[in-house]
Amino acid sequence: MNGSKIMTIDKRVADIAAAVAGIKDGARVMVSGFGDAGNPTELLHALIDQGARDLCIINNNAGTGRLGLAALMNAGRVRKVICSFPRSSHSEIFQQLHRDGKVELCVVPQGTLAERIRAGGAGIGGFFTPTSAGTPLAEGKETRVIDGIEHVLEHPIHADVALIKADKADPLGNLTYRLAARNFAPAMCMAAELSIVQTAKIVAPGDINAEDVVTPGIFVDRIVHVPDPISEAEVLLQQEAGSGEAATGTNQQQAAGL
């Protein structure tokens, strides 16, 4: 096989500021992750520095702790959150902002959220699902009985940008993920106009065996190397095991070099 042509493709950017350059105010931003697994925390902090505001965030949750998505919301950059489960433990920042009427919430069943994102990336104009039929989340939606079961029409979700955390990437944008940190990332890479990936490891083309690629590079636009991504849950665990003194978000961020 002649690989010389594709070898010239290189989606790497110089640094994390370059990775998030150009994200506009009002953008719809998909953010990978479930709980603490797969959150692109460093990209989210770069987005705070970049300055885009009035954002609509699509994520499974609505931020936990003080870092990442929670920090972006706390900085007043988020207008709306589309998610399945905003009430995780340590989701106080979102809850307060929502109570104060500062962040709008749209709750979507998790499987419907995943499939709507996939539909957005796959060119599907909508689909009928039995999930939520007969519940308040189906109110106002078109329904159809298929094979005797009531189904609800759901529309695709597209985004301007996806912020994604991968474990391994090659310059072409082929990705793999660690353990259960994959969750929403593959579908989100498909559904966004601009997919931006932070990756712990960058390897040469061919070093990810073609059989092992999880997200093919066609769905990826920018790659930035973040060799040692922070896990806020790990930080919290270490603090609990250590002095027992609750740290503020600020000194956690300092400790994390953010």
Partner 1 sequence: MTPPMTPLSREQMAWRVAQEIPLRASGGTYVNLGIGMPELVANHLPDDAGIIFHCENGILGMGPVARPGEEDFDLITAGKKPVTVVPGAAFFDSTDSFAMIRGGHIDITVLGAFQISRTGDLANWSTGGADIVPAVGGAMDLAQGAKRVFIITNHQARDGAPKIVETCTYPLTGAGVVSTVFTDLAVIDVTPAGLMVREILDGLSLADLQAKTGAPLTAAADCPALARPQN
- CA distance readout (Å), 40 to 44, 101, 130, 162, 221: 6, 26, 32, 10, 15
- Contact flag: residue 154 with partner 1 (CB under 8 A): no
Side-chain half-sphere CA neighbours of 109 within 13 A: 14
**Does residue 152 contact residue 82 with C-beta atoms inside 8 Å?**
no
| Interacting positions 24-63 with partner 1 (CB under 8 A) | 34-38, 60
Near partner 1 by CB under 8 A: residue from 74, 129, 174, 253? 129
- Contact flag: residue 126 with partner 1 (CB under 8 A): no
- Contact flag: residue 95 with partner 1 (CB under 8 A): yes
Rounded to a whole number of angstroms, the minimum distance from the CB of residue 151 to partner 1 is 10
- Contact flag: residue 219 with partner 1 (CB under 8 A): no
Please, what sign has the CA dihedral across residues 74, 91, 107, 164?
positive
Near partner 1 by CB under 8 A: residue from 12, 75, 79, 131? 131
DSSP string, 44-82: HHHHHHHT--SEEEE-SS---SSSTHHHHHHTT-EEEEE
**CB nearer partner 1, residue 27 or residue 62:** 62
- CA distance readout (Å), 251 to 36, 102, 154, 197, 244: 19, 26, 43, 26, 15
Site string for partner 1, 177-196 (x = CB under 8 A): xxxxxxxxxxx---------
| Interacting positions 60-89 with partner 1 (CB under 8 A) | 60, 84-89
Q: How far apart are the first and last CA of the chain?
A: 44
Phi and psi, residue 13, nearest 5°: -115, 165
**CB nearer partner 1, residue 24 or residue 87:** 87
**CB nearer partner 1, residue 1 or residue 179:** 179
**CB nearer partner 1, residue 52 or residue 56:** 56
- Give contact residues for partner 1 (rule: CB under 8 A): 34-38, 60, 84-89, 94-95, 98, 105, 107-115, 117-118, 129-137, 177-187, 214, 231, 233-234, 237
